[in-house]
Chain A
């Protein structure tokens, strides 16, 4: 076969394989990365918004710590109403004409749209996770499960990991530091975000058992076994309590 024919055949089959390589886990990875980035973007905007709004009514920015609520409330109510509602007798903020206030409220509106976007993507990801990895989803919830798949690279990779690797996913930096220099070994990576781990006093122990269950769950998910998520979850609840 001459080379141009070989080349054309290679291009054709490679294109086809690339097309077929797109699986649900690719969607999970993109969605969870997008959620992380939208969250970061929203935080950046709100940091600027607070700085800006504090020229106008700093007391209110101090009072409402939650970012999303802060930007929502300043959109809903004007300075006078907010001062009255929160019983501020006076303010360090300047009196600004409407056009200057509108400019900062436009930023608040932009941030709100990001929060809506985040919400809709989270709803989408939840459905996607329930479909792709129902067992993992049952014990980790949407975000942690998706992040585990993202760090592992695919559901297949995750399912092939031993529990000890799952336990440390997201702690690569600390793990390699430990291996290179003999520093203390990490006990958990991304699993630290799980309420069972973060609220426990013996986090290492909980992370270990949680990783065991995730390891089992991911294997069942990848090899398409029967749903055992509730059973795995129950075992965790019996040991460590509800979350």
Chain B
């Protein structure tokens, strides 16, 4: 097990490269991912002996996919407060929760009750997750809960107007100079247009307010998806 250039994210090179995070709740696998116990010296962590890692499946998590595709920077580290829009059942959120650790905090938002059910179970196991059943289109509905400005904002919501929703939330909740990440699904913005065209227009729109740091196309893990990393000016 080796550390990567991303804080809190580790990798193992075998036949394939795979990513890992340190399990915040040792012994528990969240979505059937592999748990690996290994004794490693983590340097900055005052951890001696065995550490339990959770494998981060890139085919189930767009953030992991972007990292495997060589993203330079995603801007997430230990201790961060995170607003996560479109958390679904919490697959990626669980790893974000591992990375930010007990000193960090994740607001995990989705508006579908079905997936929120799983999310609540996850939040009950992890002391740094607060679930929110709310609509990302209406930040007013959760502004009195997410009172502090966050260090990192992630959006994965497959909506037609997701660039607007992203900007709205970034403006309201993200600290200046902090990073925000948007996973854009071309097919849910317009099925009839070429994905390349859509990505370009989305990028143009977001660059009006934000500074582009990185972008990664997510094939073969996801089809017609692009993950953008921005910095708030």
Contacts and interface: CB of A to CB of B under 8 A. Distances in A.
Given A4-B127, A11-B123, A180 B192 contact: yes
Interface residues of B, number: 20
B191 A14 contact: no
Given A17-B133, A18-B116, A18-B120, A10 B145 contact: yes
Contacts of B129: 7
Contacts of A14: 116, 119-120, 123, 131-133
Contacts of B117: 18
B131 A11 contact: yes
B213 interface: no
B7 interface: no
B133 A9 contact: no
A225 B133 CA distance: 30
B124 interface: yes
Contacts of A3: 105, 128, 130
A179 interface: yes
Given A18-B116, A18-B120, A21-B113, A7 B191 contact: no
A10 B133 CA distance: 9
Interface string B142-153: 000101000000
Contacts of B116: 14, 17-18
Given A17-B113, A21-B113, A10 B123 contact: yes
Interface residues of A, number: 18
Interface string B88-109: 0000000000000000010100
Nearest to B107: A10
B192 A7 contact: no
B191 A180 contact: yes
Interface string A1-42: 101101101110111011001100000000000000000000
A124 interface: no
Given A9-B145, A180-B191, A15 B120 contact: yes
A11 B124 contact: yes
Contacts of A10: 107, 123, 130-132, 145
Contacts of A6: 130, 145
Contacts of B192: 179-180
A176 interface: yes
B105 A18 contact: no
Contact of B113 (A11, A13, A18, A180): A18
A176 B120 CA distance: 35
B75 to A, nearest CB: 21
Contact of A11 (B120, B147, B191): B120
B127 A7 contact: yes
A21 B116 CA distance: 11
B131 to A, nearest CB: 5
Nearest to B129: A7
A9 B120 CA distance: 12
A176 B105 CA distance: 41
A6 to B, nearest CB: 6
Contacts of A11: 120, 123-124, 130-131
26 contacts: A3-B105, A6-B130, A7-B105, A7-B123, A7-B127, A9-B145, A10-B123, A10-B130, A11-B120, A11-B123, A11-B124, A13-B133, A14-B116, A14-B119, A14-B123, A14-B132, A14-B133, A15-B120, A17-B113, A17-B116, A17-B133, A18-B113, A18-B116, A21-B133, A22-B113, A179-B191
Interface of B: 105, 107, 113, 116-117, 119-120, 123-124, 127-133, 145, 147, 191-192
Which 7 pairs show the lowest CB-CB distances between chains A and B? A10-B130, A21-B113, A7-B130, A17-B133, A14-B131, A14-B133, A18-B113
